[in-house]
Structure 1
Amino acid sequence: MTASANRVRLDGSGRPDGPGLDARLVVRRPRFDLDLVLTAAPGEVVALLGPNGAGKSTALRALAGLTTLADGHVRVDGRDLTNLPPDERGVGMVFQEYLLFPHLSALENVAFGPRAQGTGRREARRRAAEWLEHVGLAEHASARPRALSGGQAQRVALARALAVRPGLLLLDEPLSALDAHTRLEVRAALRRHLAGFAGAAVMVTHDPLDALTLADRLVVIEGGRLVQEGVPSEVARRPRTPYVARLVGLNLFRGRADGGTVALADGNLKIDAVTSLEGDVFLAFEPSAVALYRSRPDGSPRNLWKARVAAVESRGDRFRIRLDGTGPDASGPDGPRVSADVTAAAVADLGLAEGSPVWASVKATEVRVYPA
């Protein structure tokens, strides 16, 4: 999905696209500060990512007006929302727990937002019926939340958020409460609806697949600060922190490049790589690029080190092997901590188990090097 300033609003309002979201969010707490500049163009979906406690939900609540800013601003389509209460911001929000009114039908839940904005009952119900049809739930209009499945409830929550015709849509872990099968179905539906939404959208998620498939741009925060942003493909290929590397499943190291060799900052190992860069760099490679051997292989490949198996994890038809360096000794250099992906046959042939000694190597052509 690509952001576009020319998307047609599904609500048919005919309101032209504005400049989208322009915000600086400063929240101060006794043991935590958030200071984040966040923008989103009309039609753009931005995913906020970060470890627990990074400030993602705080940022979302600040945009919604549920958390007070110590400094900064929130502007949507040129309108200053900074000092407005949540119910006057015209922002749509989809919560992780759905938060549907249990005593209202699906239709009345969706109509609630327009009614709160002053729309007449008949028009609000008409608009709600249209949105339930958009999300494929027209036949469930009279059902109460307890009669809906998790996926259906989440689609009602999305319809309710969009029925207020927001310039900004906020989604807080919108798929996390769903089982695996329902998640696939609702993710596909959410992708379609976000593609047709002409306002700016900001989504908080812990799931890399949700972020990579739903967002036009990723914004990664750690400790209340921006650490990386970019289109999903660029962030996935060139992580800049250990958290991002774990998220996208890469081995990541920092080092110093000199003449096609990178000396790792956290060990005495040097890695040969195909690069002309010099100076401080990041070095990344896939777990599948790591080859394991029971004994030192013939030919002595250049990027070779001795390691110890720290953990063996099953991942479908593959196994993720976590390796620790064994420390310098006479038979091999100190190795970095890396992850390797191998087959079940390799686990058996090499006798891989916690504590097992192995040799590990990675080809220079499999290593990505980019400026730090």
Structure 2
Amino acid sequence: MTLHAHLVVTRPAFTLDISLTVAPGEVVALLGPNGAGKTTALRALAGLTALARGEIVLDGSPLHTLSVEERPIGMVFQDYLLFPHLSALDNVAFGPRCQGVSKAEARRTAAALLDRVGLTDHATAKPRRLSGGQAQRVALARALAVRPRLLLLDEPLAALDAHTRLEVRSQLRRHLADFDGATVLVTHDPLDAMVLADRLIVIEHGAIVQQGVPAEVARRPRTDYVARLVGLNLYRGVADGSGVKVGQLLISTSDRLEGPAFVAFAPAAVALYRSRPDGSPRNVWQARIEGVERHGDNVRVHLDGPIVAFADITPAALADLDLTPGQQVWASVKATETHAYPA
């Protein structure tokens, strides 16, 4: 049930042109900013958006020549789109009934799936009586009821509040682990992607800019968008063996590289001073404070200078340094806190 797809879709702002392969039992997340082409790719796989060029092949059989109804897919939409007049049980039974299964058999299948997602006690409830997390699980059960070979999930947790999202994310990961077909998940939330997916494909402006297992993508971001998602300062420059030259600033690193390279470090690794620091830091530069904002339990300081950077410091440090926008400060990062890798 391996999926091989080359998707080319023309949009007013860009042309989506990506290739992807998803193995049986694998969950691949399409990650990217709004308008990058993620949902367009998912709709193309489902047959809801026409391809300009390309193909979709599942287990050796072409899907792109089939209508939406003929494709062996299950889909969970962002807003779930449950039928409001049907009970949870009948929502799940709807797909098998459309495939010609008898009413009794479809309801038996639906009951088994509702039990699997922990909703047996809510089988007779209409969607308006379900919580967001329960509706999401009914939508998943409905998608699985048609015994799909390809499962498509469009922002499946986006409609949930933060507390419910945490619980449902964990449940969804278990359900996906039990599915032996190919799964493609679209999300803009890095945590959803990191927890649910075996592999990430990052899309920007209709093209794949990075892909790999979540840990590798998080450790070695290759675009500003990915760096922001994983919370790193990222720069591209030229390595000379002892550091990476970024503009006029040489950032010393503990990684020995030559040629085009990326260098990254966490905002928490950036120390700020009112005057030039003495001692061990090998990377020191003068910067101007562009802004200050709360960031979790800390304060994020936006810096402009030879490089644009974020620094995370404690509220106590902010008060002690008496930092305000427009001030000149000194920033430093230890070489051991940086990470360089080939561009």
Q: TM-score, normalised by structure 1?
A: 0.90
Residue equivalent to 2:325: 354
3-state SS of paired residue (1:87) = coil
1:215 aligns with 2:197: yes
Residue equivalent to 2:137: 155
The structural deviation recorded for 1:337 is: 0.6
Residue equivalent to 2:101: 119
Query: In structure 1, what residue type is equivalent to 2:291?
Result: A
3-state SS of paired residue (1:191) = helix
Query: In structure 2, what residue type is equivalent to 1:363?
Result: K
> Quick one: which of 250, 253, 256 aligns to 1:273?
253
Residues 238-257 of structure 1 correspond to what in structure 2 (within 5 A)? 238-257=220-239
> Quick one: which of 238, 256, 268 aligns to 1:288?
268
Query: C-alpha distance in 1, partners of 2:280/2:193?
Result: 41
Select between 116-125 and 100-109 the one with higher mean Cα deviation: 116-125
Query: C-alpha distance in 1, partners of 2:326/2:11?
Result: 44
Residues 176-191 of structure 1 correspond to what in structure 2 (within 5 A)? 176-191=158-173
Residues 83-102 of structure 1 correspond to what in structure 2 (within 5 A)? 83-102=65-84
Residues 1-372 of structure 1 correspond to what in structure 2 (within 5 A)? 18=1, 20-264=2-246, 267-299=247-279, 301-325=281-305, 335-372=306-343
Query: C-alpha distance in 1, partners of 2:10/2:162?
Result: 37
The size of the alignment, in residue pairs, is 343
Select between 190-199 and 74-83 the one with higher mean Cα deviation: 74-83
Query: C-alpha distance in 2, partners of 1:246/1:30?
Result: 27
The structural deviation recorded for 1:109 is: 0.3
3-state SS of paired residue (1:281) = strand
Query: C-alpha distance in 2, partners of 1:145/1:235?
Result: 38
State the Cα deviation string for residues 65-120 of structure 1 (Å, max 9, x = none): 00001111111222211111111102010011010000100000000111111111
The structural deviation recorded for 1:300 is: 7.3
3-state SS of paired residue (1:73) = strand
Query: In structure 2, what residue type is equivalent to 1:315?
Result: H
The structural deviation recorded for 1:275 is: 2.2
Query: C-alpha distance in 2, partners of 1:115/1:78?
Result: 27
3-state SS of paired residue (1:229) = strand
Query: In structure 2, what residue type is equivalent to 1:228?
Result: Q
State the Cα deviation string for residues 22-77 of structure 1 (Å, max 9, x = none): 11101123432111101110010000011111110000000000000111111122
Query: C-alpha distance in 2, partners of 1:227/1:316?
Result: 29
Query: C-alpha distance in 2, partners of 1:164/1:140?
Result: 20
Query: C-alpha distance in 1, partners of 2:121/2:281?
Result: 64
Query: C-alpha distance in 1, partners of 2:75/2:47?
Result: 11
Query: C-alpha distance in 1, partners of 2:273/2:209?
Result: 36
3-state SS of paired residue (1:88) = coil
Select between 222-231 and 308-317 the one with higher mean Cα deviation: 308-317
The structural deviation recorded for 1:148 is: 0.5
Specify whether residues 226 and 95 from structure 1 end up closer, same or farther in structure 2 by C-alpha distance, changes over 3 A only. same
Query: C-alpha distance in 1, partners of 2:112/2:99?
Result: 18
Gaps of 5+ in 1: 1-17, 326-334
Contact 2:88 2:127 in 1 (8 A): yes
Question: In percent, how many aligned pairs have the same letter?
Answer: 69
Contact 2:280 2:334 in 1 (8 A): no
RMSD (CA atoms): 1.1
Gaps of 5+ in 2: none
Q: TM-score, normalised by structure 2?
A: 0.98
